[in-house]
């Protein structure tokens, strides 16, 4: 069992979009997956409710104390994906504590990069007391195809000294289109969107596999 949190206090960075698609891609790989909606705004809940036979299970936890009890619930799944809350420091701190991996989606904009600063400090402080857990990494999200911005952002993110995923998530209509029906890009005819989502999942799984080997 591994817990992956998708966190960034900035709204609109793509947390819910990435959480739902990431969860579904892990499900497609044959893993059992639970999505945890930790955001009182309830976007992941709304997404889940929009599709009657959603193949992914979802639970809403809107208090930090509930997140602390997540580890026992998570034991029944291969992966738990937590869709992060905006601005709620206690909630974000609780998610960091229970996570094996924190994925930080950032839009290719300087405001988004600056806004990640406190979150990175939180994660690094936690890593110091735990010998490196949770692992963490950025993913550049909502990149407009054909622009150079994605690579400029990578250079800017280097200052944080946290890994940046090779995969970027592109700005594509298929993400909101499928979300509005409670679906994911795995239900649409868009090979590029499926490929980037699967590539992102594989990158995270590879990091989690090395983390497990180090502990063993």
Residue ranges that bind ligand ADP, judged by CB under 6 A = 11-17, 43, 142, 169-172, 175-176, 179
CB of 44 to Mg ion, least distance (A): 7
Of 37-45, 117-125, 133-141, 147-155, which segment contacts Mg ion by CB under 5 A? Answer: 37-45
Separation between Cα atoms, residue 56 and residue 46, nearest integer Å: 13
Q: How far is CA 65 from CA 19, 24, 90, 97, 215, in A?
A: 21, 27, 9, 12, 27
Could you give phi then psi for residue 105, rounded to 5 degrees?
A: -75, 130
Q: Closer to ligand ADP at the Cβ: 132 or 176?
A: 176
The helix, strand and coil proportions of the chain, stated in percent and rounded to the nearest 5, come to 50, 15, 35
43, 66, 127, 202: which one binds Mg ion (CB under 5 A): 43
Phi, psi dihedral angles at 135 (to 5 degrees): -65, 155
Asked if 17 is part of the footprint of Mg ion (rule: CB under 5 A), the reply reads: no
| C-beta separation of 138 from 108 below 8 A | no
- Closest approach of ligand ADP to the CB of residue 200, in Å: 11
- Told to check if 15 binds Mg ion by CB under 5 A, we report yes
- The residue from 5, 13, 16, 141 that contacts Mg ion (CB under 5 A) is 16
In the complex, the smallest distance separating the C-beta of residue 10 from ligand ADP, rounded to whole angstroms, is 7
């Amino acid at each position: 069992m591994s817990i992956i949190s998708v966190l960034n206090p900035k709204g609109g960075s793509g947390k819910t979009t990435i959480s739902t698609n990431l969860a579904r891609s892990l499900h497609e790989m044959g893993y059992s997956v639970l999505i945890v909606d930790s955001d009182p705004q309830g976007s992941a809940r709304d997404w889940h409710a929009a599709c009657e036979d959603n193949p992914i299970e979802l639970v809403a936890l809107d208090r930090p104390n509930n997140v602390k009890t997540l580890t026992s619930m998570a034991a029944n799944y291969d992966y738990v994906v937590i869709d992060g809350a905006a601005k709620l420091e206690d909630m974000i701190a609780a998610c960091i504590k229970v996570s094996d991996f924190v994925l930080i989606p950032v839009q290719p904009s300087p405001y988004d990069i600056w806004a990640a600063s406190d979150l990175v400090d939180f994660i690094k402080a936690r890593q110091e007391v735990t010998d490196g857990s949770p692992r963490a990494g950025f993913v550049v999200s909502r990149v407009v195809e054909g622009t150079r911005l994605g690579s400029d952002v990578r250079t800017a993110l280097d200052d944080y000294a946290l890994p940046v995923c090779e995969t970027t998530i592109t700005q594509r209509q298929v993400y909101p289109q499928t979300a509005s029906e409670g679906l994911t890009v795995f239900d649409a005819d868009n090979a590029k969107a499926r490929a980037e989502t699967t590539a992102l999942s594989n990158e995270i799984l590879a990091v989690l596999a090395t983390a497990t080997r180090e502990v063993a």
